[in-house]
Structure 1
Amino acid sequence: MIFDALHPPHDAVPSDPAPATVLASWEPGTFLENLAPGPDGSWWVTSPSHRRVDHVAADGRLLTRVDLGAPATGIVADGDTALVTSGEPGTPGWRLLRVRDDGYVPVADLPGVTFANGMTRHGNGLVIADCLRGALVRFTSDGAVEDLVVDPLLTPLDPQGPLPGVNGLAVGPAGDLVMTSTGRGLVLRLGAAGLEVVAERLVGDDLTVTPDGALYVATHTFDSVLRLRPDGARADVATRVDGVVGPTSVALEPDGRALVVTTTGGMLAAPDTPEPARLVRIDLTSGGGHP
C-alpha cells in the first residue's frame, strides 16, 4: 500500500461484508459531510460544498434543501429539526443553527471555533470538534461556549495538508467521548482518566458506536466502513463495490438494525473524476457486518 498526504498509514484489514443499498445519489462534485436521523425514517445531510442541508426521505426522495450561505458541517437531530454548525473553514464567525424544512434560525455564535466538524450530544449540551485548532468545544444548555479539551493529538498532522485533526465524535456506552484524529490515523477516547489512544494506524473521518461498544468508522480516502470491536479486531463491512467511495460519516438507524453512510464520490482523492455522492444503507442483521 502506498501512503501519501491523503493516505496516512492505515493497516489493511479483512473483509466482512454486509448487504448495502444506495438510498440516494447527488451529482459528482457534491461533498457530503455529516448526517443525522430525521422523522419517519428520513435523514438530514450536510453538504459543505453546496452550503446547504438536504432532508432526504427513507426512500431516497429529496424532501427539501435548506441553503445556509456558508458551509454546513456538524449536525445532530433535535425532534423534527436539526442543529447544524456552519461557517468558513479557518476563519471566525462560526454559528450553531436550527434547520427546519422551511429554513433556519440562528441558535448561537461559536466564538473561538475555527473549523467545526463532528458534533454530538453529551451531558447537558453539545460537544463540537474543532478540527483545525485541535479542540473539543462544549456548548451547554444555558448557551455557554467553552473548551473541553485542547491537545496536540487533536491537531492536524500537517496544518497545510488535506486531512484534518479531530473529526468524528460519538458517545460510548459508558458515556465517554470517542473520536477520530484523521491525519494522525488515531481513534481516541476521552473519559475520566483523560485522553487515551484506542487505535493507531486507523484513518477515520466520522464514526458511530453500537450499544456493545463496537465502533463503525468511515475511512474516507480508504473507501470503506470499518468495524472496530472492543477487543481491537478490525474488519471492513463495506467498500467501493458497495458504492462506498469517499465515505465521510456513518450513523446507526434509530432501531440499530443498519448503518447509514454519506460519501463524496471520492472527490477529495480524485477531484477531476469523482463518482456521484451517495447515501448508503448497510444492513447489520444479515450475517456480515454484525458486531
Structure 2
Amino acid sequence: MFTKLPKSVMLTAAAIAVAMSAPAPASAATPPLDHARTAVHFDLAKGRTPENIALASDGTAYVTFAKARQIAAVSRRGDVRILATLPAPADGGVHTPALRFPLTTGIVRAHDGTLYFLYATGTADLTGVWRLRPGGRPQRISALPATGLPNGLALDARTRALYVTDSALGTIWRVPASGGTATAWSTDPALAPAGFLGANGLKIHNGAVWATNLDKGTIVRIPILPGQRAGTAQVTATGLTGIDDFAFTGRGDDQIIAALNTVNEVALVRPDGTRTTVLTAADGLQGPTSIALRGNTVHVLSAAYLTAKDPNLLLARLGR
C-alpha cells in the first residue's frame, strides 16, 4: 500500500503509454541483484497504478491497479489485459480510511487459477475480499469493516484460509477461501498504525504470518499456533522507512527483499535485521509497492504515487 499523497500529486496525471521499455542503460543494482530493467510501463492517466502482484507459472503477472479499481493480467511480452473493473461506491469512496478514494489492493492466485483480491471503499457493501474465477465475474466472498483498509493478502493453501492485513484497524483478518465471515486473527499492537497506515504487506512463511508496518518501518513475525491461533508478534527488523510489500528470497533463512515506497528503494533484509539497498531510482523505481519472485527473477511494481511519472514493472536478477 502506498503512502499519503500530497494534493498536488493526486491532481496530476501524466499519460504513459503501456509498452515494453526501450533498451535500458547499465543497471545500477547492488549485488545480489543485477541486470535491472524496466519491462513494462503502465498508463498513469488511466489510473493504472500497480499495487500488488501474483505470478503464474506460465509467466503471466496478475496485478491490481489501485486507482482504476481493476484486476489485470500482464503477459511476458508486456501486454496488459483488464480482467475486471470493480463497481465504484455510490459516494465515490470519499469515506475510504486515510485515502478518501476506492482502491484495489492485495492479490493472490490459487493453483486452479482463481484470483483472490481486496477492495477498500469505505462502504459496507463493497469493502472486503473478492474472488475472480477463470472466465467468471468478480464477486465479494467476505465483507470486511468499512472503517478498515484491507491491504496485504496471503493464501494458506494447506488450510484454505486467506489472511488479510488491515492498515487502518491494525488487524490481521482470517477468512475461509470458500468465503464467509472474517475473524480478527491478530490485533497485536505491533500491527497498529502510528498516524497513517499500519499493517501492510503480508506473507505466510515457515509456520508464521509475516507483515510489515508502514508507519513504524518494521517487519513483524506472528507464529501460527496449534488450532491456527495467533502467537505473540515479534519485530524482526526496524528502520525500514516507508516499507510496503516484500518477498522471501529462498536464499538462507528468512532473507527478505522489501519495497521501501516513500524513499524509492528496494532493500535486502537479512535474518538479523540488517539491510542493504539493492535498487534505487537509478534502476527505474518510481515508488515501489510490491515484490514477487519467479525463480531468480525479481518482479518489482512501482505505482508512482509520489513521483506521478512512470508506474512500471521492473525486473532484476537475483544472484547467489
User: If the length of structure 1 is used for normalisation, what is the TM-score?
Assistant: 0.82
Question: What CA distance in whole angstroms lies between the structure 1 residues aligned with 2:234 and 2:277?
Answer: 24
Tell me which amino acid in the other structure corresponds to 2:152.
G
Tell whether 2:176 aligns with 1:140.
yes
Q: How many Å separate the matches in 1 of 2:183 and 2:145?
A: 9
- 1:198 alignment counterpart: 236
Sequence identity of aligned pairs in percent?
Answer: 27
* Displacement of 1:176: 1.0
* Mapping 1:142-291, distance limit 5 Å: 143-158=180-195, 161=196, 164-172=197-205, 174-191=206-223, 192=225, 193-203=231-241, 204-211=243-250, 212=252, 213-253=254-294, 256-265=295-304, 267=305, 269-270=306-307, 274-285=308-319, 290=320
Query: Which one-letter code corresponds to 1:237 in the other structure?
Result: V
Instruction: Tell me how far apart the structure 2 counterparts of residues 228 and 52 of structure 1 sit (CA, whole Å).
Output: 31
> What do the CA deviations read for 1:47-94 (whole angstroms, capped 9, x no partner)?
120110111001211133421124211110123331111130x44332
2: CA distance, partners of 1:48 / 1:281: 21
Q: Deviations over 1:172-213 (max 9, x none)?
A: 2x2211110001111111015510111111131011113331
- Which residue, out of 129, 137, 146, partners 2:165? 129
Structure 1 position 165, deviation (Å): 0.6
Going from structure 1 to structure 2, the CA distance change for 1:23 and 1:152 (only over 3 Å counts) comes to same
Deviation at 1:237, TM superposition (A): 1.6
| 2: CA distance, partners of 1:101 / 1:77 | 11
| Alpha-carbon distance change, 84 to 5 in structure 1, aligned in 2, over 3 angstroms | closer
1:111-166 CA distance string (max 9 Å, x none): 336211000013511100011000000012453420101133212211xx4xx110
TM superposition shift of 1:28: 3.1
Residue identity opposite 1:207 in structure 2 = F
Shift of 1:35: 0.6
Aligned residues of 1:251 and 1:261 also touching (Cα < 8 A): yes
Q: Please tell me the residue identity of whatever aligns with 1:57.
A: S
* Residue 46 of structure 1: how far off its partner (Å): 0.4
| Conservation of the 8 A alpha-carbon contact between 2:236 and 2:272 | no
C-alpha contact 1:66 1:104 (8 A) present in aligned 2: yes
1:37 and 2:36 are equivalent in the alignment: no
> Residue 244 of structure 2 aligns to a residue in which SS?
coil
2:104 aligns with one of 43, 50, 72: 72
Q: Is the 8 A contact 2:65 2:71 kept in 1?
A: yes
| Distance verdict in 2 for CA 1:76–1:48, change over 3 Å | same
Residue 129 of structure 2 aligns to a residue whose secondary structure is strand
Instruction: State the TM-score, normalizing by the size of structure 2.
Output: 0.75
The answer to whether the 8 A contact 2:117-2:131 is kept is yes
- 1:61 is matched with 79
Distance apart, 1:21 and its partner CA? 1.9
**Aligned residue pairs: how many?**
263
Q: CA RMSD in A?
A: 2.3
Unaligned runs of 5+ in 1: 7-13
Structure 1 ranges of 4+ moved more than 6 A: none
Q: SS at 1:139's partner residue? A: strand
